[in-house]
């Protein structure tokens, strides 16, 4: 409740803007723009370069010229998605067309700006993108602990967890798995302990966050 400082430190820690543009003057202009509002910047001149760099550990976004030497901006977007890197992307283009724009936006781009780009538009877009990334990271972090604890469960404990979280009583779980009720109770206790759940409600929310399928679970209309 009172650890705001710690939490902000953990999930923020100075956002960074990543720029990919083959035009040195553009890189310089963008770098200056972002630094003028106190943002950290890292600039690259090609898609290959940024793919070699390690993905940032802080809230960040990508400012990407759609026309790049070698792989285009859209290709890079696809590559990053394939590599499970979800840094929000802002495209800039001098002569883009509508199909290209649609494709980029459908693939999750946060914005698509046309040159000449107004400084304020760019800053607004970057602000929104970083905010989005921060939220995504927070959400990711909040379930990563749950996920790792789940990994620590034995196979049988997971079986029991799935059925308990779907609302079955211990005796029903036992019948379903061919066990004695007492066995289920013991596993159940171990599950609560290992998962760090302080109540059944906690446990249910954890399993839902993990996307564990419910063997029996209905919210009937």
Residues forming contacts to DNA in the complex (CB under 7 A) are 154-157, 169-171, 174, 177-180, 182-183, 185-186, 188-189, 192-193, 200
Min dist. Cβ of residue 148 to DNA (A): 15
- Tell me how far apart the alpha carbons of residues 195 and 206 are, in angstroms, rounded to a whole number: 9
Helical pair 155-165 and 200-210, crossing angle rounded to 10 deg: 110
Burial of residue 192, with CB atoms counted within 10 A of its CB: 0-12 exposed, 13-18 middle, 19 or more buried: middle
Q: CA-CA distance, 116 to 99, in Å (whole number)?
A: 20
Least Å distance, CB 133 to a second copy, is 17
Choose among DNA, a second copy, none what residue 186 binds, the Cβ cut-off being 5 to 8 Å by kind.
Answer: DNA
* Nearest distance, CB of residue 145 and DNA, angstroms: 19
Measured from the CB atom, the residue of 80 and 168 that comes closer to a second copy is 168
Q: How far is the CB of 3 from a second copy (least distance, A)?
A: 10
- Name which position in 86, 136, 156, 205 contacts a second copy (CB under 8 A): 205
Q: Which of 138, 150, 170 is nearest to 210 (CA)?
A: 150
Q: Interface with a second copy includes 200 (CB under 8 A)?
A: yes
Give me the residue label for tokens 């379930």: 143
Contact positions with a second copy (CB under 8 A) in 141-180: 141-146, 164-169
Please state, as a whole number, how many other Cβ atoms lie within 10 Å of the Cβ of residue 82.
8
Query: DSSP strand E in the chain: where?
Result: 16-20, 40-44, 60-65, 89-93, 111-114
Pick between residue 44 and residue 112 the one whose CB is nearest to a second copy.
112
Q: Which residues bind a second copy (CB under 8 A)?
A: 93, 96-99, 101-102, 105-106, 111-112, 114, 141-146, 164-169, 196, 198-202, 204-206, 208-209, 217-221
């Amino acid at each position: 409740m009172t650890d705001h400082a710690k939490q902000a430190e953990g999930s923020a820690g100075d956002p960074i803007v990543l720029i990919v543009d083959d035009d040195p003057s553009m890189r310089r202009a963008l770098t200056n723009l972002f630094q003028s509002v106190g943002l950290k910047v890292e600039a690259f001149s090609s898609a290959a370069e940024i793919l070699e760099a390690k993905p940032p550990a802080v809230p960040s976004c990508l400012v990407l010229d759609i026309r790049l030497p070698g792989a285009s901006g859209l290709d890079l977007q696809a590559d990053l998605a394939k590599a499970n890197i979800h840094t929000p992307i802002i495209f800039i283009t001098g002569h883009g067309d509508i199909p290209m724009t649609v494709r980029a936006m459908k693939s999750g781009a946060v914005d698509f700006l046309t040159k000449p780009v107004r400084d304020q538009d760019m800053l607004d877009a970057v602000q929104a993108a970083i905010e989005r990334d921060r939220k995504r990271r927070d959400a990711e972090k909040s379930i990563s602990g749950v996920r790792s604890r789940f990994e620590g469960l034995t196979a049988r404990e997971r079986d029991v967890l799935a059925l308990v979280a779907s609302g079955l009583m211990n005796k029903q779980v036992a019948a379903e798995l061919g066990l004695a009720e007492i066995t289920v109770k013991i596993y159940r206790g171990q599950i609560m302990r290992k998962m760090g759940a302080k109540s059944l409600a906690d446990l249910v929310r954890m399993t839902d966050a993990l996307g564990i399928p419910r063997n029996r679970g209905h919210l009937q209309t």
